[in-house]
Amino acid sequence: MSSRTASLRSLSRATATTTATSPGIRLFSATARRAAPSAHRALVFREHGALNDALSAHTFRALSPPGPGRVNVRVRLAPVNPSDVNASKASTPNKPSPETLLPPDSGGTQDFSVAGRRARPERGWSAVGVNAGGSEVTVRAGHRYTVERERVESTLRESGMDGGMGKTSYLFSSLDGYAYAGLGLGGPFKQVTPDVAEDDLPTCTISFDECFPGYSRASDVFKYVAFENPQCGDCIITALSRASGPLGLSTFLPPAERQLADLSAKIPDRSEPIPHLPLVARYDDGDFSLRGAMGASGRAQRARVDAARAAALPLRRREHARGVRDALGH
């Protein structure tokens, strides 16, 4: 038996079992029987790789004595793989390849954790029009046919409204993105209908460093671009609207094959039929994950749900259009 194995077995009699997996995270136990009163023994993750290589025992300055049946815990944040502290198995991640630690403009990639999966940000980065190695992109809105007059007139006729649009003209629909992005104070209302010249379509700029500052969860990225840096969110919406083509919001939605699991055993029955974003006074207090939004609805609890359809439901709650009526204003 190696000295390390013997030391760990001895230590295990005085420590609690841990499932933390990130290097640099220290879990302290109550004072070991043979340790001096001024010191504590602890299991420390110092490396990536196999558990036997990553885990070792060390002596540290004592913490305040824990209460009966308790252990002291000290956590030092790790610069790599911060989400690994949430892992449930006693294993440490493989050391990431150097290119995953490089900034985007040097050709590297970074990982975002999305609902337990790993997703490459360059996939989203390319969706908004950035070539490999880019760190900033100027986005030009795309032509959209949602409120194109002939199309709207045809839809109204099919629904039985013989009078059509009359003197009303639609300027913008929420199905084409965010109507007020880049509007400013007193500026003209910008349209994206087919009759607008390409050079007159709205433009904006997305910076990778400014708009994606290292968050590892998709819901945290959403909160950042929606509330902390809304200019980023506005421009991302413009880019994804263009990427979705002349109609629809396909680029905004999860893959068609993705399913949400049945949550009926985990979430109490609720009467609200429509999923919605958190209704909280402070956005920091809300769960903006897809599962969190679906958790507000009884639909998510009864059976497996098509994730794309589920994500579209909150969008429908806020559908609206902007229009003008001749000589009468908005």
DSSP assignments along 232-284, one per residue: HHHHHHHHHHHHT-SS--GGGSPPTT-EEPP-TTTS------S------SSGG
Answer whether residue 46 is part of any domain.
Answer: yes
Write out the residue range of the structural domain in which residue 285 sits. Answer: 259-317
> Smallest Cα–Cα separation from 129: which of 190, 233, 205?
205
Look-up: residue for tokens 């252990």?
71
Q: HSE, CB side, 13 Å, CA atoms: give it for residue 109.
A: 15
Answer whether residue 230 is part of any domain.
Answer: no
Q: Where are the alpha helices (DSSP H) in 99-217?
A: 121-127, 149-158, 208-211
pLDDT of residue 129: 56
> What pTM was computed for the model?
0.55
pLDDT of residue 214: 74
Answer whether residue 293 is part of any domain.
Answer: yes
Residues of the chain with pLDDT under 70: 1-40, 45-54, 60-63, 71-134, 184-187, 259-274, 290-291, 294-307, 310, 314, 327-330
- Alpha-carbon distance of 92 to 96, in angstroms, equals 11
> Smallest Cα–Cα separation from 276: which of 230, 303, 227, 311?
311
Answer whether residue 273 is part of any domain.
Answer: yes
Domain count, the chain: 2
Answer whether residue 64 is part of any domain.
Answer: yes
Per-residue model confidence as pLDDT tens digits over 251-265? 887 777 776 665 555
Residue 205 is encoded by which pair of tokens?
Answer: 């700029």
Residue 280 is encoded by which pair of tokens?
Answer: 């909280």
Give the end of a domain, one of 66, 86, 106.
86
Answer whether residue 272 is part of any domain.
Answer: yes
Per-residue model confidence as pLDDT tens digits over 107-125? 333 333 333 333 445 555 6
Asked whether the beta carbons of 300 and 267 are under 8 A apart, the reply is: yes
Give the end of a domain, one of 38, 65, 86.
86
Give the end of a domain, one of 86, 103, 138.
86
**27 pairs with which residues across the strands?**
43, 73
Asked whether the beta carbons of 291 and 275 are under 8 A apart, the reply is: no
Asked whether the beta carbons of 167 and 326 are under 8 A apart, the reply is: yes
Answer whether residue 76 is part of any domain.
Answer: yes
pLDDT of residue 124: 55
- Alpha-carbon distance of 231 to 235, in angstroms, equals 6
Answer whether residue 276 is part of any domain.
Answer: yes
pLDDT of residue 197: 94
* Amino acid residing at 28: F
